[in-house]
Amino acid sequence: MLTEKTKDAAAHSAAASHGAAPSADLVAYFEGKYVALGDAKVSIMTHAFMYGTAVFEGIRAYWNEDQGVLYGLKLREHMERIRRNAGMLLMTDLPPVDELVRTVVETIRRNHFRGDAYVRPCFYKSGLSVGVRLHNLAHEFVVFAIPFGNYIDVDKGVRIMTSTWRRNADDALPARGKIVGGYVNMAFQKTEAELNGFDEALVLTPDGHASEASAANMFVVRDGVLLTPPVNDDILEGVTRRAIMELAGTFGIPVESRSIDRSEIYVADEMFLCGTGVQLSPVTELDHRPIAGGAIGPITRQLHEAYFAAVRGNDPRFMHWLTEIPAR
């Protein structure tokens, strides 16, 4: 347990625990309209369904109980990224970033959340045709939002194992693209870890460097320096990863982006994962080897507490990360 304040903040999302069935009254943006989530359906012939030809974002919205305000986290950065990634799949004539942000905000607003939420925007190939390709296919934009708690226990410390499944290389299926079909690779890694009694997987690049977790970026601490794999080690160019680097700068913690070997993590002082799903989650064990003595290290603790203060609107220095969601 990190702090009672952290525990209390997480409690506000108790009704939104991971894996809960979505409520029947939720609203989604689908084919240009706001509709009941249950009515947002595609044909089984939809190209994205058959071939994974879609890109998506995961976004969190955090409820501040004291202020009675819901904050969307890094909405603009996520919409900038999804437009870039959609272009990789030859999607053109995309709405501008400002319009996408407005659509996300309105989707969240219509759901009247009073707790933490998860938001999933997606551009997908909507053509009804059989055949593997990217060109000459129509596309659509969809957004849904659901109540959502912790993806994994962010306070306890995460036990991870090195996966036998390697990260897909950039010249095979770009991990930076957040491409729907590529997440089968992550599913192999996550399931392998959980079936072996671990919480998460450490994934290596084809040449053996640490890349990231199954669906999260990673940082390690050595001699007071925060280390993270570079973007050319087949990682997702994480929005949360950049936020952590900014946060570290405010504390004067040096950050270095470079390749990291698996064995270097064994001798690291600290390690944590970050991303929309895992938020900022301390790692206390890799391959049965304790990290930071099996406890949560001081730099990880400092960043963890600062991060959750920032995303809930309790630190004025980071209000530029947040978009207030109108109540009505």
Asked if 227 and 221 count as a contact pair (C-beta separation under 8 A), the reply is yes
Using a pLDDT cut of 70, give the percent of the chain over it.
91
What CATH fold (topology level) applies to the domain 158-311? D-amino Acid Aminotransferase; Chain A, domain 2 (3.20.10)
**12 vs 256: CA distance, rounded Å:** 35
Which pLDDT belongs to residue 5? Answer: 42
Please give the C-alpha separations between residue 132 and each of 137, 175, 176, 209, 236, in angstroms, as whole numbers.
Answer: 11, 20, 21, 32, 24
User: How confident is the model over 118-144, as pLDDT tens digits?
Assistant: 999 999 999 999 999 999 999 999 999
pLDDT of 17 reads 42
The closest of 21, 236, 47, 262 to 139, measured between CA atoms, is 47
CB 243 within 8 A of CB 303: no
Judge residue 320's burial from the number of C-beta atoms within 10 Å of its C-beta, 0-12 exposed, 13-18 middle, 19 or more buried: exposed
pLDDT attached to residue 281? 96
Q: What is the DSSP letter of 168?
A: P
- Delimit the CATH 3.30.470.10 region(s) of the chain: 4-147
Sequential pLDDT tens for the chain (328 residues) = 444 443 433 333 333 444 455 567 999 999 999 999 999 999 999 999 999 999 999 999 999 999 999 999 999 999 999 999 999 999 999 999 999 999 999 999 999 999 999 999 999 999 999 999 999 999 999 999 999 877 666 667 999 999 999 999 999 999 999 999 999 999 999 999 999 999 999 999 999 999 999 999 999 999 999 999 999 999 999 999 999 999 999 999 999 999 999 999 999 999 999 999 999 999 999 999 999 899 999 999 999 999 999 999 999 999 999 999 998 6
| Amino acid, res. 64 | N
Residues of the chain with CATH 3.20.10.10: 158-311
Burial classification of residue 245, based on how many CB atoms lie within 10 Å of its CB (0-12 exposed, 13-18 middle, 19 or more buried)? middle
- Its pTM stands at 0.91
3-state secondary structure of 286: strand
Q: Which amino acid is at 175?
A: A
Q: In 3D, which of 165, 162, 185 has the Cα closest to residue 175?
A: 185
Question: CA 13, CA 17: separation in Å to the nearest integer?
Answer: 7
- Distance between terminal CA atoms of the chain? 36
Give the architecture-level CATH label for domain 4-147.
2-Layer Sandwich (3.30)
